[in-house]
Amino acid sequence: MQASPHLALVDTSPGMRRYAALAAALRARVVAGEWPRGSALPSENLLAAEHQVALGTMRRALELLVEQGLIERIHGKGTFVRQGIAGGSMLRFFRFGGGSNEVPQSRILLRQSVPATAVVARALGVGPGETVLRLLRLRLLASQPCLLEDMWLPLDLFAPLADDELGGWDDLLYPMFARRCGVHVHRAVDQIGFGVLTAAQAAQLRLQAGHPCVAVERNAYDLAGRCVEWRTTRGDAHAFHYSVTLT
């Protein structure tokens, strides 16, 4: 049998089990776009033969990817890609002096379960008055505030986050959503607008009331197409930076 071109990816490091290394190789193929989100993976037998591993090893690797939320098994249909790379840093719209790949710190300023207003209900696709979870989050770089985020989440999906200890929350929310609530963000739509900061918003960002700001409105969706997050991120308009390459 001719060696598969993907076998080089299955490099078992010391302490890493064979199925874990295999799972990492499969994940790399998903991230590279070989299997787009929502697409079916080849059969277990075909994958096992391609990677020259036992069928049991392949099944364990796939089970690990199911546990990690990357793929899902649908009875009678097969195994499908559930998510690729989640999220997208809001820092790509700004230039604060740090690297664009730097993960800012997070501080939850407000958490409350409240009835959805008409605007929130329309954004999340829930009924007016339905209980939703609101989060007000401050992002910081080198301990300096840079972004203020007003977030709204359907409470039926995010109930585990309503009353737990905020000290255990991650700086990156999407991986935490997947791990704690089983919610996997599949895609997000960002819209950029401009405005001015209220006195309360400006105080959190250590700016003057009325300071010009960029407002990035995001609707995030799961694989089923449900809106699982509506967020408005505000930052100093003087730090706004956006570039695009056309080819």
pLDDT, mean of each 10-residue run, the chain (247 residues): 46 67 87 81 94 93 85 89 63 73 86 97 96 96 94 97 91 88 84 97 97 96 84 95 79
The pLDDT of residue 13 is: 54
Which pLDDT belongs to residue 123? Answer: 96
Closest to 93 (Cα-Cα) out of 204, 183, 215? 215
pLDDT on residue 104 = 85
Q: What is the pLDDT of residue 54?
A: 93
Q: Residue 195: CB partners within 8 Å, gap ≥ 6?
A: 212, 213, 215, 234
Q: Is the pTM of this model over 0.85?
A: no
Q: Residue 205 corresponds to which tokens in the numbers above?
A: 């960002």
Residue from 63, 57, 61, 49 nearest 6 by CA: 49
Do 217 and 231 meet the contact criterion of CB atoms below 8 Å apart? yes
The pLDDT value recorded for residue 84 is: 46
- β-partners of residue 81 are 71
Residue 191 is predicted with a pLDDT of 94
Task: Please name which of 79, 107, 91 lies closest in space to residue 23, comparing C-alpha atoms.
Answer: 79
CB 104 within 8 A of CB 145: no
Q: What is the DSSP letter of 134?
A: E
Q: Going by C-beta distance under 8 Å and a sequence separation of 6 or more, which residues neighbour residue 202?
A: 208, 209, 210, 211
Of 153, 100, 103, nearest to 124 by C-alpha is: 153
Give me the domains of the chain, ranges plus CATH numbers.
Answer: 7-81 (1.10.10.10), 90-239 (3.40.1410.10)
